[in-house]
Structure 1
Amino acid sequence: MSEFTYELPFSNEKLLQGILIELKRINKNEILPSLTASKVSIDDLGTSYYVDRSGRWNARGVKVKFYVNPNSIEALSKDEYRSIIFEICSNLIPGEVGYDIKEIAFVPDLNIDIDSHEDIIVELENQINQSTSDILPKILPAEIRDKGREMAELYSFLYSIENSLRMFFEIVATEKYGTDYINKISIPRSLEKTVSSRKESAANKKWLSIRGDSDLFYLDFKDLGTLINNNWTLFEKYFPNQNFILSKLDEMADIRNLIAHNSYVSKVERELVRTYYNSILKQIESKFK
């Protein structure tokens, strides 16, 4: 009977998470963009490799395979990076599992959205790593790049909740007034001017993508809060009270403006957005059940 379990005490996703944490701990942040959106698997190579006496008796040789953005393959293939990741994997997998890591491999994930912000970050990191000049590392130090990744993640939350609220508003208003709801709901004159001004600006800048096919896409967090407040009878059954939703939208609008002006948002504020994101979605999810 074998002394080994041949089974990880955690999921492959947890293994990847541990690898990312270790890379941060040893300040190898330049590797992070290439692995953050990846997937990992462990392929059993069997016990045949023991003929060269390179492993423990009755352990199994494995290959740790990373499915990554195709644009990251070249960067990750550096001997230095491969060696670092190999060592981290070896340290994270408990000895009693009975896996001897024989190799690691990086293969392209063909299902990944190569237009994602992760792809842009990877490209930037590769440019810096491959630059023969010392200018880029000076004007784009690791600290700035790390903060950029944090802001990209936060923007994803804000983008999601803002557009979720737009869609939620449209669904509720359409049920009440029909597809012509925009002409029947209560819209303050100031917001009408905002929509009109932003539409005119968009029309004059034809090289930019349009915001959307609804007037709601020309309104931001605080504007949506005002619109919800002015049509409260439509939304009162979804929220405990007006302050519940309006105060959160106001705070997220301020945080959104900081990101829009390339300012840094602290961890406390980022966690606040996560909390608001979850609490608002829980309130409105009943509409979609």
Structure 2
Amino acid sequence: MINKQVMKLLREKTGVTDQRIYQIIDEKKNAHHYSITKETAAYLIAAENGIDISKILKEDELIRVREVATGQPVINRQRNTIQRDSSKQILVEIGKDIKVTDPLLPKKIVEDAKRMAEVYAVVYVFENSVRNLISKVLETRGTDWWETNVGGKIKNKVKERIEKEQRNAWHGKRGAHPIFYADIDDLSSIIAANWADFRDIFPDQPWVSGKIAEIEMSRNVIAHNNPLEEHDINRLKINFGDWIRQISLWSDQQLAEKAESDTQE
């Protein structure tokens, strides 16, 4: 039987029903090819959601969770018995509100998480900068620009994602406009397909596709919760800086033209 306190904390953390929690537990078991019990699956999920299971579970339960999480047995070499080494637990601090002593994470993962937090912000701003630029430029074609200026393959993929999201009403939505459901490489395709509208903003088309492709590589690594090497982080920041400078130049020109037009009126 799953520990009642763990279940209670899972309900509070996730905000979903017991039925949904058991579905998630079954998904976790499936991910491990049903080689783990529902109890172990539940405790893994609890730890992943920031619940300090080390203060709730028995020693043998914690050992099993750590073994599944790391793929290795936990061994006390002095006693030649398997047990949890509490002296090596890692304190995870996320923002101001979350402080958890996690028995599963090696120290490097926590350090990488803190380092990647800054990098994620760069990727987040870049990707949404591309989306907003496309929207602003193509809106000059009319309010229905998504239907008239975006290819069918992209629109169909986005439509499927929106429909799937609507079926999962318990979760927040990505955004109000379909462009927020498009992949980053889709954004590059939209610009290429409407190059006449973007040619005055960028040096040339390969420059745009190249910047997006390079940033996408780093973005995909981060999206799967993996750290970037330092040289990749530096390249990401350089590409991001180039992008911002380029669109800022165009934006300044737009503002200057508008100001001149207003003066003439």
The counterpart of 2:105, out of the listed 129, 132, 140, is: 140
- Counterpart in 1 of 2:152? 189
Q: Secondary structure at the residue paired with 1:127?
A: strand
1:254-265 paired onto structure 2 within 5 Å: 254-265=217-228
More helix by share: 2
How many residue pairs were aligned?
Answer: 161
1:215-250 deviation per Cα after TM superposition (whole angstroms, max 9, x unaligned)? 110112111001100110000111111111101212
How far the C-alpha of 1:122 sits from its partner, in A, is: 4.6
Residue-by-residue CA offset, 1:179-236 (whole Å, 9 max, x unaligned): 2222221x22221121111111111111221111111101121110011001100001
Q: C-alpha deviations, 1:5-47, integer Å up to 9, x for none? A: xxxxxxxxxxxxxxxxxxxxxxxxxxxxxxxxxxxxxxxxxxx
Which residue in 2 is equivalent to 1:22? none
Whole-angstrom distance in 1 between the partners of 2:100 and 2:154: 43
Query: Does the 8 A contact of 1:220 with 1:253 survive in 2?
Result: no
Q: Following superposition of structure 1 onto structure 2, how do residues 176-255 of structure 1 map, counting pairs within 5 Å? A: 177-185=141-149, 187-255=150-218
Distance 1:259 1:277, change over 3 A: same
User: Helix, strand or coil: the match of 1:287?
Assistant: helix
Aligned residue among 117, 127, 133 for 2:100? 127
- 1:91-135 CA-to-partner distances (Å, cap 9, x unmatched) read xxxxxxxxxxxxxxxxxxxxxxxxxxx9834544x323xxxxxxx
TM-score, normalised relative to structure 2: 0.57
Question: Which of the numbers 122, 132, 137 marks the counterpart of 1:157?
Answer: 122
Structure 1 position 174 matched with structure 2 position 136: no
The structure, 1 or 2, with the larger RCO (C-alpha pairs under 8 Å, 6+ apart) is 1
User: Contact between 1:225 and 1:249, CA under 8 Å: does it hold in 2?
Assistant: yes
1:287 aligned to 2:261?
A: no
Alignment of 1:22-33 (within 5 A): none
Q: In structure 2, the residue corresponding to 1:240 is in which secondary structure?
A: coil
Asked if the contact 1:158/1:252 (under 8 Å) is kept, the reply is yes
- Counterparts in 2 of 1:266-285, with a 5 A limit? 266-285=229-248
Letter of the structure 2 residue corresponding to residue 202 of structure 1:
E
Amino acid at match of 1:142: K
Matches for 1:55-134 after TM superposition, within 5 Å: 120-124=94-98, 126-128=99-101
Give me the whole-angstrom Cα distance separating, in 2, the residues matched to 1:193 and 1:217: 14
1:221 and 1:252 in contact (8 A); partners too: no
